[in-house]
């Protein structure tokens, strides 16, 4: 499912769509440890986290992630949104906590036909 479509279905706001918003998401990584993120990242991964730092956005750009989803309706600093836009990283904000956001993502992604 395309990231921009996924954002709409889970009720998230897409703050920095960029070219990555058109990518298809196949997996989700939820957490806040950079070492785990690095080992799970790919261009079809959406990272769901409560970390709202520009370092995370820069790391996402280096790893060519599709996007980042911040939780709890956090209002990211304008500088963070600007870094995401400059790096072409899709940035969205879910109004729900980490558990609810992941549950909604799971429901959306599990219904997708599997590639053969």
Q: Is the pLDDT of residue 114 over 70?
A: no
Classify domain 3-110 by CATH number. Answer: 3.40.1390.20
pLDDT band of 116, cuts 50, 70, 90: very low
SS3 66: coil
- pLDDT of res. 5: 92
Outline where the chain has alpha helix (H): 3-10, 34-40, 54-62, 78-87, 98-110
What pLDDT, in 10s, does the model give residues 28-54?
Answer: 999 878 777 777 778 888 999 988 888
pLDDT at residue number 113: 59
Q: If you ran DSSP here, which 8-state letter would residue 48 be given? A: E
CA distance 35 to 88: 22
pLDDT at 9: 94
d(C-alpha 20, C-alpha 112), whole Å: 19
Question: What ranges do the domains of the chain cover?
Answer: 3-110
Whole-number pLDDT of residue 108: 93
pLDDT digits (tens, 9 = 90+) for 53-106: 888 888 888 888 888 999 999 999 998 999 888 888 899 999 999 999 999 999
Query: Are 11 and 104 spatial neighbours (Cβ–Cβ below 8 Å)?
Result: yes
């Amino acid at each position: 499912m395309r990231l921009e479509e996924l954002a709409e279905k889970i009720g998230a706001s897409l703050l920095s769509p960029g070219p990555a918003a058109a990518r298809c998401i196949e997996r989700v990584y939820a957490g806040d440890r950079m070492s785990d993120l690095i080992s799970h990242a790919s261009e079809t991964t959406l990272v769901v986290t409560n970390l709202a730092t520009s370092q995370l956005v820069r790391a996402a750009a280096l790893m060519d992630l599709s996007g980042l989803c911040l939780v709890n309706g956090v209002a990211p600093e304008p500088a963070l949104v600007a870094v995401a836009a400059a790096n072409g990283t899709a940035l969205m904000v879910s109004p729900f906590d980490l558990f609810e956001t992941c549950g909604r993502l799971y429901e959306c992604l599990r219904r997708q036909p599997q590639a053969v």
